[in-house]
Structure 1
């Protein structure tokens, strides 16, 4: 869960930085660094969502595909429905 939180924060922050850059100065170095950071965080969010949720939790999984805020949507849904988290035998999901 911690890695998912970090990836979701990086995804949201990087898209915000990219949009601010796009609508203001449009500095190429920010775009060339921010784009891959955002794309990587987006893919990590998707992978972590599929790895940490049970097979029947499609309601959570489709949220991961929303660019920019998908990670935050997943975290919100997992907080509302913690039973969708995969757990090992006898462990309790940690938030």
Structure 2
């Protein structure tokens, strides 16, 4: 769960940086540095969710860009209680 929490946070943070860059100065250096980091965090969320959950709805939630990891964490927390 810790790895999933870290990946979900990184996914959301990097998306925020990318969107802020896009709406303000649009520096290509920021996009080229943060874009692959966001992509890796997104893939980590999808892979960790696939390994952790068999529920198709939880797996589908992981595919939502940006907030998918947070949605998965919420669904897993609800399922464990």
TM-score by length of 2: 0.95
TM-score by length of 1: 0.82
Structure with bigger helix share is 2
Is the counterpart of residue 59 in structure 1 residue 57 in structure 2?
yes
Alpha-carbon offset, residue 70 of structure 1: 0.4
- Equivalent in the alignment of 1:73: 71
What 5-or-longer segments of structure 2 have no aligned partner? none
**2: CA distance, partners of 1:7 / 1:61:** 15
**2: CA distance, partners of 1:82 / 1:14:** 28
What 5-or-longer segments of structure 1 have no aligned partner? 84-95
**2: CA distance, partners of 1:82 / 1:49:** 15
Deviations 1:35-65 (A, max 9, x none): 1000000000000000111x3x112110000
